[in-house]
Amino acid sequence: MTDEEQEFAPFNKIQGVASTNVVAYSNEYDDFISFEGSYVHGIFTGFKWQCVEFARRWLLLCKSCIFQSIRTAADMWHKLSFVERVTDGQKFHLKKYSNGSSYKPTCDTFLIYSASIQAPYGHIAVICEVKESFIRVIEQNFRFHIWSNNYSRQVPLVFRDGLYYIEDYLNIYGWMGIENNDQLRSLNKSNVNLILEKYRQPKEISGLNRCIAPHKVFDDMSVLYSMDINNQNEKCSMKFNGNDRCYYQANDDFFINISSISNELYSLFIQVTDNIIHDDEILRDLEIPNQFWLRIRKSWIDEREFDVIDHMEFKLDEKNLKLCKYKVNPALMIFHSAVLQEKSIQTMNIAYDFTSTFQLHHLLVRYWKKLDIKNTIHILIDSDDELKESIIYMQTVMIEAGINVKICLLSNELHWKNSTIVDSDGEIVKIVWKLCIWEKIFQDFTGQYDANKKKDCWTPAHKEHPCLSDILLNEQIRIIEPLWKSITNHTAFLSILSRKFPNHPNIVSSEWIPSKDSKYTPLVNWSTEKKNNDIIQSYNATKTFDYRHMCEEIISEKNCENSDKTIVSLMIHGVCAGFVEKELNSLATVCLSCLQHKFESFEDLGKQDQMAKNALVKLANETKTDRLDGISVDLFGLTLTGKSTVLNALLGQSVSTGVGETTTEIKAYKGTNKLKLICPMSLRHYSNHS
């Protein structure tokens, strides 16, 4: 059977089963590294689904042994000399036979490939059958087809001049056999309880240390990198922030667990999203306009593959990662910053092999190619879209993937023509991509509602230019980052998630309607008002229910030196493709250095308050989560007059707060819906809900 005739297996899908109980999973691409750990009975077997992981898992299940941590498959030939039995620690030596040996290969031996251009890290397979003219092997991360039998492939075996050669298109070092192999038995129920504790690896997050890098000049960005410094198997994380020159050093478990936790949580996201989408009662509670329900459900069926980028934000609570409030809006900006820093890393005077974001651009391009989109993608932007640079970056990614792309200004570059939506060139819009703030979409829907008051379905207004709802509710247009993500990105989603999985170690407890004495920290919730006997539920950004708030568990900072850091996992279609670290301390220090003076007169208020305003706006742009309504923000040493100036600048209106007094907080006033300043955790330490 040719490669073209064999069924392809995407990532994480089973390719086949070897030795009755050893499953081979697809890695989909031989150059993809998931950084997600695989564990069997608490024993780490490697990164999913690398060739070394399969070899170690096969050895554990079939021989009750494991081999030591090894950097690459090719290194095994020179650096691996024994395996250890996990039930008693006894070592069994490995014997090497070079390709071209007088000894014929045997079953249950490792076949080791050298590093090459085609296989930079080499390869390892397990010989499972030996015939006169060929051998059969079992393996992972070599080909990505569904096995037709209990082996992966067949490789020619040649006997020439008294020597045995395994002939493959990649160079082979040889094969390695286990001495006294007859003493080894499979791992099963009878002996699994005998596994020594030293072979089980803890899954706690640990080992994140902040270090100073050699002096260099860096861009003013903040992003996380991982490196292998001086080939000592130490992974490091680089963080650039103005003049700060530092990096984060972490152990292997840190990288493995971030990926594992992210991928696990994404699967829970999908499970909970599916439950919500098909539950009318929850959709009403979430106050999503019911005109969107059918379209959301259709997108769930037809547009699952159009979920391209996501991110999750975690805080460190002692040794655990805790998922914080899920925010999708900055995802593209974080992706873009991470990719840009890949170029800046080359200026660092530190040796490294790779970074924690080294796959991002490559995997983005690859996924867009995988979508195989033939129609033009119309990227929709607003006139004041602050993500323009990042959107242009995504345009270059799509173009690199061979996709025809147009950027359209939503307000005036799309038109109605014969009940279809066309661009300025007259091309029919069939696929759109827009990073949506779902509250804004529901608000846009409300603005267009009058023409549809008495109907339970959406009817386009057919003005000259289509509104956002005309596009998103148009069944002839497919949406990338589809409508069903309005569920996953909803303010209340984390609350529902924590309710479904109340004891999950990585999900922060969250209350939707907390008690008055709740020990959780308040978050601002958006709400809607009901019209026309509940036929239409529509979003209104100026009104909130006083009794309905979102609250999150207060993450303990006790004995946790990294509690001020946010770890951001970057996902491409549900798979962790890298991660960054956001540390607000540096930015907060800049802001606080502008605000730490006590103003005694009006003389320099204009200048000082402008500095304060600029710093606050910068901080708000960096954090961007919720409105500030009802939250007090501590800004020590700034007079009420100074705070009034800041509020005036941000609100665009006059706010009287008094003259000549000093206080320790700025308060947002009811109805100040234009205020978009967000208080990060580093400034919200003493915040109170008013």
Is the pLDDT assigned to residue 47 strictly greater than 60?
A: yes
- 562 occurs within a structural domain: no
Which residues, in sequence order, are CB contacts of 338 under 8 Å at separation 6+?
A: 223, 224, 357, 360, 570, 578, 580
Same domain, 180 and 132: yes
Q: Report residue 589 CA to chain centroid gap.
A: 28
DSSP conformation class of 424? T
- 75 occurs within a structural domain: yes
Contact in structure between 137 and 152 (CB atoms under 8 Å): yes
Summarize pLDDT for 91-126 with one digit per residue, the tens: 999 999 999 999 999 999 999 999 999 999 999 999
Which residues, in sequence order, are CB contacts of 174 under 8 Å at separation 6+?
A: 77, 96, 97, 98, 99, 100, 101, 112
- Token pair for residue 419? 């009940």
Same domain, 527 and 378: yes
- Picking from 249, 245, 256, 275, the residue whose alpha carbon sits closest to that of residue 201 is 256
Same domain, 405 and 541: yes
Summarize pLDDT for 411-461 with one digit per residue, the tens: 688 999 888 999 999 999 999 997 766 666 776 666 565 455 555 555 666
Query: Percent of the chain scored above 90 by pLDDT?
Result: 37
Contact in structure between 479 and 432 (CB atoms under 8 Å): yes
- 290 occurs within a structural domain: yes
Which residues, in sequence order, are CB contacts of 401 under 8 Å at separation 6+?
A: 365, 366, 368, 369
Contact in structure between 309 and 365 (CB atoms under 8 Å): no
Same domain, 528 and 589: no
- 235 occurs within a structural domain: no
Is the pLDDT assigned to residue 348 strictly greater than 90?
A: no
Same domain, 380 and 455: yes
Residue 44 binned pLDDT confidence (cut-offs 50, 70, 90):
very high
Q: Which amino acid, one-letter code, is at 494?
A: L
Which parts of 364-505 are beta strand (E)? Answer: 377-381, 405-409, 414-417, 420-423, 431-433, 478-480
Summarize pLDDT for 233-260 with one digit per residue, the tens: 334 444 444 445 566 666 667 778 888 8
Which residue, 162, 178, 199, sits at the end of a domain? 199
- 226 occurs within a structural domain: no
Same domain, 309 and 160: no
Which residue, 199, 214, 230, sits at the end of a domain? 199
Same domain, 515 and 594: no
Same domain, 103 and 170: yes
Same domain, 590 and 680: yes
Number of domains in the chain: 3
- Picking from 592, 564, 573, the residue whose alpha carbon sits closest to that of residue 222 is 564
Which residue, 136, 169, 199, sits at the end of a domain? 199
Same domain, 189 and 326: no
Cα–Cα–Cα angle for 319, 570, 122, rounded to 5 degrees: 90
Question: Residue 633's domain spans which residues?
Answer: 584-690
- 212 occurs within a structural domain: no
- 63 occurs within a structural domain: yes
Residue 17 binned pLDDT confidence (cut-offs 50, 70, 90):
very high
* Residue 194 belongs to domain with CATH number: 3.90.1720.10
pLDDT of residue 194: 94
Of residues 623 and 578, more confidence is placed in: 578
- 232 occurs within a structural domain: no
pTM exceeding 0.85? no
Query: Percent of the chain scored above 70 by pLDDT?
Result: 60
Same domain, 113 and 59: yes
- The backbone torsions φ and ψ at residue 118, rounded to the nearest 5 degrees and listed phi first, read -75, -30
Same domain, 395 and 516: yes
